[in-house]
Amino acid sequence: MGPGDILEGKLIYDGSVHADGRLEGELRVTGNIEVASGATVKALLEGGNVTLKGNVEGMVTARDKLTLGKNARLSGDIQVRRLQIDDGATLNGHVRMGDFEHQASGQ
């Protein structure tokens, strides 16, 4: 997605996504998600490795690693295996870490 692109709705995709524009809704991918520094996201995000550099509001699930870049602003709960927060990033929400996939399948 380029800087002028807008996605509203639900996207389930077998691959990776780079978001540079505006995204609202739900994004579930088998690969990785990268939200660029100029992007604005109000969505549920789920991917393998998730890298956030822009503004994100919503729940984020990273099956492997979530990285918050130095200018990232995340407002929402996260569920991750590993978490990296660069100096300057902000996170407002609850964090759940660990092997959550096995726990979720039992519910």
pLDDT at 102 over 60: no
Sign for the CA dihedral angle at 87, 90, 91, 92 comes to: positive
> Residue 107 and residue 99: Cα distance in Å, rounded?
14
Q: pLDDT tens digits for 37-85?
A: 989 999 999 999 999 999 999 999 999 999 999 999 999 999 999 999 9
Report the alpha-carbon distance of residue 64 to residue 47 in Å, rounded.
Answer: 8
pLDDT tens per residue, range 4-33: 888 889 999 999 999 998 999 999 999 999
Residue 101: pLDDT band (50, 70, 90) is low
Residue 106 has pLDDT above 60, yes or no: no
3-class DSSP assignment, residue 104: helix
pTM of the model: 0.88
Task: Give the total number of structural domains in the chain.
Answer: 1
Does a structural domain hold residue 56? yes
pLDDT top residue among 102 and 14: 14
Q: Could you list the residue range(s) of the whole structural domain that residue 11 is in?
A: 6-101
Token pair belonging to 20: 């540079």
- What are the C-alpha distances in Å from 63 to residues 13, 58, 87, 96? 15, 16, 23, 12
Contact 71, 55 (CB under 8 A): no
- What type of residue is 75? S
DSSP run (H or E) holding 99: none
Residue 106 in domain: no
In a domain, 1, yes or no: no
CA distance 16 to 97: 22
Query: Quick one: tokens of 17?
Result: 């996504």
